[in-house]
A and B are shown apart, each in its own frame.
Chain A
Amino acid sequence: MGSYIETELIINHKDTELRLGLPGSEDNQQSCNGSIVRSNKRSFSSETTSVEHESICKSNNVSSDTSNSSTTNNDHDHDQDTIQPKKVQVVGWPPIRSFRKNSLQQKKVEDGCGMYVKVSMAGAPYLRKIDLKVYKSYSELLIALENLFKCTFGEYSEREGYNGSECAPTYEDKDGDWMLVGDVPWNMFISSCKRLKIVKGSEAKGLACL
Chain B
Amino acid sequence: MNYFPDEVIEHVFDYVVSHSDRNSLSLVCKSWYRIERFTRQRVFIGNCYSISPERLVERFPDLKSLTLKGKPHFADFSLVPHGWGGFVYPWIEALAKNKVGLEELRLKRMVVSDESLELLSRSFMNFKSLVLVSCEGFTTDGLAAVAANCRSLRELDLQENEVEDHKGQWLSCFPENCTSLVSLNFACLKGEINIGALERLVARSPNLKSLRLNRSVPVDALQRILMRAPQLMDLGIGSFFHDLNSDAYAKLKTTILKCTSITSLSGFLEIMDCIGDKGLGVVASTCKDLQELRVFPSAPFGNQGAVTEKGLVAISMGCRKLHSLLYFCHQMTNAALITVAKNCPNFIRFRLCILDATKPDPDTMQPLDEGFGAIVQSCKRLRRLSLSGQLTDQVFLYIGMYAEQLEMLSIAFAGESDKGMLYVLNGCKKLRKLEIRDCPFGDTALLTNIGKYETMRSLWMSSCEVTVGACKTLAKKMPSLNVEIFGEGEQADCYVEDGQRVEKMYLYRTVAGKREDAPEYVWTL
- Which A residues fall within an 8 A CB radius of B? 1-16, 18-19, 29-33, 35-40, 59-61, 90-100, 104-105, 107-108, 110-113, 115-117, 193-194
A104 lies within 8 A of B275 (CB): no
Q: Is B301 an interface residue (CB 8 A)?
A: yes
Asked whether, in the complex, the Cβ of A91 is within 8 Å of the Cβ of B353, the reply is no
A11 lies within 8 A of B305 (CB): yes
0/1 string, B367-381, CB within 8 A of A gives 1: 100000000000000
Which residues of B in the span 164-220 have a Cβ within 8 Å of any Cβ on A? 188
Does the CB pair B463–A10 fall under 8 Å?
Answer: no
Given contacts A40-B416, A95-B76, contact A12 B276 (CB under 8 A): yes
Contact status B307-A13, CB under 8 Å: yes
In the assembled complex, the Cα of A16 lies from the Cα of B329 at a distance in Å of 10
Interface string of B344-360 (1 = CB under 8 A from A): 00000000010111111
Check B160 against A12 for contact (C-beta < 8 Å): no
Query: Main SS of the interface on chain A?
Result: loop
Are A7 and B283 in contact, CB atoms less than 8 angstroms apart?
yes
With contacts A7-B269, A11-B306 taken as known, whether A35 is within 8 angstroms of B358 at the C-beta atoms is: yes
Contact call B299/A108, Cβ cutoff below 8 A: yes
Q: Are B298 and A13 in contact (CB under 8 A)?
A: yes
Task: Give CA–CA (A173, B410) in the complex, Å.
Answer: 36
What's the least CB distance linking A97 to chain B, in Å?
A: 5
- Residues of chain A with a CB closer than 8 A to B305's CB: 11-13
Per the bound structure, the CA–CA distance linking A177 and B281 in Å amounts to: 33
Q: A4-B263, A108-B301 are in contact. List 5 more A-B contacts (CB 8 A).
A: A14-B303, A31-B356, A93-B412, A95-B77, A105-B299
Chain B interface SS verdict (over half): loop
Measured in the bound complex, the distance between the Cα atoms of B280 and A10 in whole Å is: 11
A108–B356 CB distance below 8 A: no
Please determine whether A111 and B188 come into contact, CB atoms closer than 8 angstroms: no
Whether B266 lies near A11 (C-beta < 8 A) is no
Given contacts A12-B276, A95-B353, whether A111 and B240 have CB atoms under 8 Å apart is: yes
Nearest CB of B to A204, in Å: 24
- Does B94 lie at the interface of the complex (its beta carbon under 8 Å from any beta carbon of A)? no
Known contacts A11-B296, A13-B298, A36-B357: A4-B264 contact under CB 8 Å: yes
Check B413–A111 contact: CB distance below 8 A: no
Given the interface pairs A8-B269, A91-B78, the reply to whether A194 lies near B296 with Cβ below 8 Å is: no
Beta-carbon contacts of B389-431 to A below 8 Å, as 1s and 0s?
Answer: 0111000000000000000001011101000000000000000
Separation of A60 and B487 alpha carbons in the complex (Å): 10
| Residues in A neighbouring B463, C-beta threshold 8 A | 37, 59-60
Min CB–CB distance A174 → chain B (angstroms): 9
Give 1 or 0 for each of B265-280: 1 = CB within 8 Å of chain A CB.
1100111111110011
Closest to A92 in B: B77
Is B438 positioned at the interface, with any CB of A under 8 Å from its CB? yes
In the complex, the answer to whether B294 meets A8 with C-beta atoms within 8 Å is: yes
